[in-house]
Amino acid sequence: MYRILEHTMINLVLFGPPGSGKGTQAQKIIEKYGLVHISTGDLFRYEMSHDTPLGQQAKAYIAKGELVPDSVTIGMLRNKVEAHPDAKGFIFDGFPRTIAQAEALDALLLEKGTAVMALIALQVHDQEIVKRIKLRGATSGRTDDSDEEIIRNRISVYKNETSPVFDYYASKGKSHSVNGIGSIDEIFGRLVDVIDQTAVAARA
């Protein structure tokens, strides 16, 4: 039995609407599997807090709940991936958010001799999402978490531009969904089941 090179890395796309728990679960997944966490939203917030040129570019889009242009986001993502040449795998959180970003990610990983192993979507309904984001906004200091109109816009951007990414990886047999309602540990257990199953299948 031989192993294809791409299968030696565990590269996961953690998917789902804003406020679905991606950041929280990504933290637990990297601890268990020793992966590198890349959250493009966190990277943008870091750049904005240091008022870098990249942060200045992203700011206006984020304030409105719109997407930062693909070229900007993809370039930032590439830098981050290349900063970790020895990673056992990556967990992509909040990226890719468009089909063009998914195609760019696939091309980048192919260039590195690897691929996305699985996309896992956290399923949470709109009403719960709005509730969670507002709760987070009360303490996060994120202005895009405090205004209901911006939150609604983020949800509609997700539905229109981001949700097709699920179908894109589904057509490659890589998309999975888990129920994103429950305790943090319950949801983590569901994610671990999917990760372990797909990792075993990839090594068969």
Residue with smaller CB distance to ligand UDP, 41 or 89: 41
Q: For ligand UDP, which residue of 94, 102, 155, 198 counts as binding (CB under 6 A)? A: 94
Task: Count residues binding ligand UDP (CB under 6 A).
Answer: 19
Q: Quote the tokens at residue 180.
A: 């994103």
CA 85, 48, 54, 147 dihedral sign is positive
**121 lies in the site for ligand UDP, by CB under 6 A:** no
Q: Kindly write out the interface string for residues 125-164 of this chain, putting x where it contacts ligand UDP by CB under 6 A and - elsewhere.
A: -------------------x---------x----------
* C-alpha distances in Å from residue 35, one per residue of 29, 156, 202: 8, 30, 17
H-type alpha helices, 12-52? 22-33, 40-49
Nearest to 175 by CA among 15, 36, 10: 15
Regarding 18 and contact with ligand UDP (CB under 6 A), the answer is: yes
The answer to whether 18 and 151 have CB atoms below 8 angstroms apart is yes
Residues numbered 21 to 60 that lie near Mg ion (CB under 5 A) are: 23, 41
Q: Which is nearer to ligand UDP, 143 or 179 (CB)?
A: 143
21 binds ligand UDP (CB under 6 A): no
Written as one string, the DSSP assignment of 88-157 is S-EEEES---SHHHHHHHHHHHHHTT----EEEEEE--HHHHHHHHHHHHHHH--GGGT-HHHHHHHHHH
- Contacts with ligand UDP in 25-44 (CB under 6 A)? 40-41, 44
The residues of the shown chain that bind ligand UDP, judged by CB under 6 A, are: 18-19, 22-23, 40-41, 44, 61-62, 65-68, 73, 94-95, 97, 144, 154
The residues of the shown chain that bind Mg ion, judged by CB under 5 A, are: 23, 41
